[in-house]
């Protein structure tokens, strides 16, 4: 994808994201957003920031996610405003706090601390993890890890900036599944499920299991769906959306169909299923996109998931202008 665009192209992306005509389908707005994210420019940050007036919580949480992934401190003021707005949807506030963690500026710590006892559990838990993440990046281990990554030019397995790094021994790359014993997986699983540990540490086990990625690791991750933290469970579903293992489909379908599950977790399961794109997924995401009794965020996520599924199954390599992000390129938050 080109890193520079003409002013006309930028305007077209802005019109698409902001839906200035009033008839741009949501999944097309998502594609415009991911193209802007890839540009990583200050203009792109400004355009994305303008879209927080939108009524769709799904779209707004994705705006915050993208701003975090762009890792520019110029996005911090708008993210702080979103986090501080107690009338904003908690899923959007959560994503704003997580984005502040991804940008990882020590200046964000006082603001994040203000929300450690927020009435919304997902918000306070995210702030806790974001603070730990920022402190980790500035710790000896964190600094060493970032230096090693630069010097040895490690190409990360996943390009996302994650809320927590894998455990120290497996900071870089993925071991071959045959080199990982069931015993190691069991240890990671017990760390993942241990509610006595800080969430940041449990997340480190989660991202380690993601990097291992074998069916046994997927099973260990799926056991996290029995947790009582919606935040924790939605992150498991997010990780499944990155892993794209057909082995995770039954667990994700259970989440999507569970009307007692939180919207945030079901939304993430829907998008992960769209990315995996196996045939048995399609009837379920279609059903939940059309179910009038489903929460809006679940229906909209299924709409985005269908776009991803169709792309996954179309054999298309790229879109006509080569500029537009394809749904398969995006790891939606
Ligand atoms: Fe999230
Ligand atoms: Fe999400």
Per DSSP, 176 falls in state -
By residue count, the chain amounts to: 333
- 126 CA to middle of ligand 2, Å? 13
Domains, the chain, in order of start with CATH, read 1-138 (1.25.10.10)
Cα of 115 vs its chain's centroid, Å: 21
- 247 CA to middle of ligand 1, Å? 22
One-character DSSP codes across 78-131? HHHHHHH-TTS-HHHHHHHHHHHHHHT-GGGHHHHHHTTT-SSHHHHHHHHHHH
Ligand in nearest proximity to the CA of 233: 1
Nearest one of 164, 161, 154 to 130, comparing CA atoms: 164
Per-residue pLDDT at 316:
60
Tokens representing 167 are: 């455990």
- 193: number of CA atoms within 13 Å, CB side? 15
List residues forming the annotated binding site for Fe cation.
Answer: 61-62, 94-95, 234-235, 267-268
- 305: number of CA atoms within 13 Å, CB side? 35
Q: Cα separation of 150 and 165, whole Å?
A: 16
Per-residue pLDDT at 327:
53
List residues forming the annotated binding site.
Answer: 61-62, 94-95, 234-235, 267-268
Question: Is 253:145 a contact under the CB 8 Å cutoff?
Answer: no
Per DSSP, 156 falls in state P
Helix or strand holding residue 312 (H, E): helix 296-312
Per-residue pLDDT at 328:
42
Per-residue pLDDT at 325:
52
Q: Tell me the per-residue pLDDT of 238-295, one tens digit each, with 9 for 90 and over.
A: 999 999 999 999 999 999 999 999 999 999 999 999 999 999 999 999 999 999 999 9
Q: Cα separation of 234 and 225, whole Å?
A: 9
Phi and psi (nearest 5°) for 72? Answer: -120, 130
Q: Cα separation of 64 and 59, whole Å?
A: 9
- 269 CA to middle of ligand 2, Å? 9
- 96 CA to middle of ligand 1, Å? 9
Profile the chain (333 residues) by mean pLDDT over runs of 10 residues. 79 96 94 94 97 95 97 97 97 98 97 98 98 95 82 76 83 73 94 97 96 95 97 97 96 98 97 95 97 96 93 63 48 67
Residue where the block lists tokens 């699983």: 189
Per-residue pLDDT at 170:
66
- 183 CA to middle of ligand 2, Å? 32
- 88 CA to middle of ligand 1, Å? 15
Per DSSP, 173 falls in state S
Neighbouring residues of the ion ligand 2, judged by CB less than 5 Å: 333
Q: How far is CA 21 from CA 18, 24, 29, 49, in A?
A: 9, 7, 12, 19
- 301 CA to middle of ligand 1, Å? 13
Q: Cα separation of 100 and 121, whole Å?
A: 17
């Amino acid at each position: 994808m080109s890193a520079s665009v003409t002013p006309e192209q930028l305007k077209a992306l802005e019109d698409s994201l902001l839906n200035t005509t009033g008839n741009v389908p949501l999944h097309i707005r998502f594609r415009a957003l991911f193209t802007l994210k890839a540009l990583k420019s200050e203009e792109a940050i400004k355009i994305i920031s303008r879209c927080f007036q939108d009524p769709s919580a799904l779209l707004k949480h994705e705006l915050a996610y993208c701003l975090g992934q762009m890792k520019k401190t110029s996005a911090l003021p708008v993210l702080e405003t979103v986090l501080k707005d107690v009338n904003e949807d908690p899923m959007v506030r959560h994503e704003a706090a997580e984005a502040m963690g991804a940008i990882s500026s020590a200046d964000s710590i006082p603001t994040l601390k203000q929300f450690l006892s927020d009435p919304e559990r997902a918000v306070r838990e995210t702030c806790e993890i974001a603070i730990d993440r920022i402190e980790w990046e500035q710790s000896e281990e964190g600094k060493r890890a970032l230096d090693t990554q630069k010097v040895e030019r490690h190409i990360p397995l996943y390009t996302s900036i994650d809320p927590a790094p894998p455990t120290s021994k497996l900071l870089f790359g993925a071991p071959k599944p045959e080199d990982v014993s069931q015993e190691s997986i069991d240890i990671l699983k017990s760390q993942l499920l241990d509610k006595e540990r800080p969430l940041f540490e449990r997340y480190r086990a989660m991202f380690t299991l993601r990097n291992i990625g074998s069916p046994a690791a997927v099973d260990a991750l799926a056991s996290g769906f029995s947790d009582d933290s919606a935040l924790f469970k939605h992150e498991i579903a997010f990780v499944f959306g990155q892993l794209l293992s057909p082995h995770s489909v039954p667990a994700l379908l259970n989440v999507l169909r569970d009307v007692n599950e939180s919207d945030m977790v079901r939304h993430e399961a829907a998008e992960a299923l769209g990315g995996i794109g196996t045939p048995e997924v399609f009837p379920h995401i279609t059903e939940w996109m059309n179910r009038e009794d489903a929460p809006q965020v679940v229906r909209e996520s299924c709409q985005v998931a269908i776009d991803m599924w169709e792309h996954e199954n179309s054999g298309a390599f790229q879109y006509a202008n080569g500029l537009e992000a394809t749904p398969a390129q995006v790891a939606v938050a």
